[in-house]
Amino acid sequence: MKNVVVTGGSGKAGRAVVRHLLEHGYKVLNVDLAPSPDPLCHFLRADLTDFGQAVDSLRVAAGVMDRRRPFREAEAVVHLAAIPSTGLVPDALTFATNMRANYNVFSAATLFGLGRVVWASSETVYGLPYTRVVPDFAPLTEAHPLRPETGYALSKVLGEEMARQMHRWNPGTSFIGLRLSNVMDPEDYGAFPGFTAEARKFNLWGYVDGRDVGLACRLAIESSFTGADNFNVAASDTVMTKPSSSLMAEVFPGVPVAGSLGEFESLFSIDKAAKTLDFRPAYSWRDAK
């Protein structure tokens, strides 16, 4: 699958995904409301909450000719377009926007018989931010109960169910949901040493480098997986300089910790993504110069 539509390719994660795919020989069409500040591929302006525009975004891909990389027919879609977090607009608008975009893009993908939909779910499905609830255990695996606390998180939980049902209707299209941790770029890393345990407890001190999001998306496209399932995508470490076991004992003293944690090991298990998608993060803020 070398011709890929990336929705939301102008956003933080989207730019990293577009760049990674291009570097690995893919032909990419970026579909977004605004052009990317880093215009690496052909851009199509579309509002994906409108079903007709979502359908056209995949249909017209066959007619897009980027002089640098001719794009003939979409074979997969990486769906990242969304209001990316809570608190940016009223919660009801976040929910409605994300749900409609998910439905429209998923439907368009099945309409055209695309073999693969890779899409951005979220770590928030587990109960983040941890203000009213606490995790049942750590590190968090995909088996942890889902407890959406915001309209944003609820749109991700329901998006996962939507993907399961749409795959049931259309077994030829597989759906891979990536439960992304807090996406960070190298320029963000300078702030990490100043983080406090309390300030970052909202997501168990997790993050993922944007370049590793690109890697995860490519591996999901190339995977032999068929069906509809969801995978944690996070860095292998936390954002903190304090050991992970100490963080849990200090902030979540009653939460069971499975096994023996590495010194700065992430509290989001990526074992399932490693086993199924061969995902192993390549970047850590501790290695940044």
Q: pLDDT tens, 130-140?
A: 999 999 999 99
Answer whether 107's CB lies under 8 Å from 49's CB: no
Q: What is the mean pLDDT of residues 147-172?
A: 98
The three-point CA angle 117-120-124 to 5° equals 145
Q: Pick from 61, 62, 156: which is nearest to 101 by CA? A: 156
pLDDT digits over 195-241, tens only?
A: 999 999 999 999 999 999 999 999 999 999 999 999 999 999 999 99
Whole-Å CA distances, 100 to 42, 49, 51, 148, 179: 24, 5, 8, 18, 19
How many Å apart are CA 221 and CA 14, to the nearest integer?
A: 15
State pTM to two decimals.
Answer: 0.95
Q: What is the mean pLDDT of the chain?
A: 94
